[in-house]
Amino acid sequence: MDKEKMKKEIGKMLDQMQEGSEDFKSSVEDTLEEAKDKVKEARFKADKYILENPERSVLVSAGVGIAIGFGLAMLLKGKMNCRSCRS
């Protein structure tokens, strides 16, 4: 293969790679935009639910907080009783 033919082939490959990267970038941007829209919609629905059901919302968040606190307490208690962990 001579140098000119090799340069043309490399140029074609670079052009294909650039087109592929532009397509990928466009696809990622579209996906990101869709994700942003879904997050906005979920936030709107959550805000609406909280406004319509304030008592239930407080109770649910308190329950979640208690469950997380209980889980952390059990995890920490397990580490405190671990003899090999103290060394």
| Residue 77 scores a pLDDT above 90 | no
Residue extents of the structural domains in the chain: 23-52, 61-87
- Put simply, whether the predicted model's pTM sits higher than 0.75 gets the answer no
Compare 83 and 62 and report the one with higher pLDDT.
Answer: 62
Residues 6+ apart with CB under 8 A from 50: 57
pLDDT at 19: 84
Q: What is the mean pLDDT of residues 51-56?
A: 95
Q: How distant is the alpha carbon of residue 59 from its chain centre?
A: 27
What is the rounded CA–CA span in Å between residue 68 and residue 60? 12
Choice between 69 and 79, residue whose per-residue pLDDT is larger: 69
Contacts of 57 (CB under 8 A, 6+ apart): 49, 50
Rounded CA gap, 56 and 46, in Å?
12
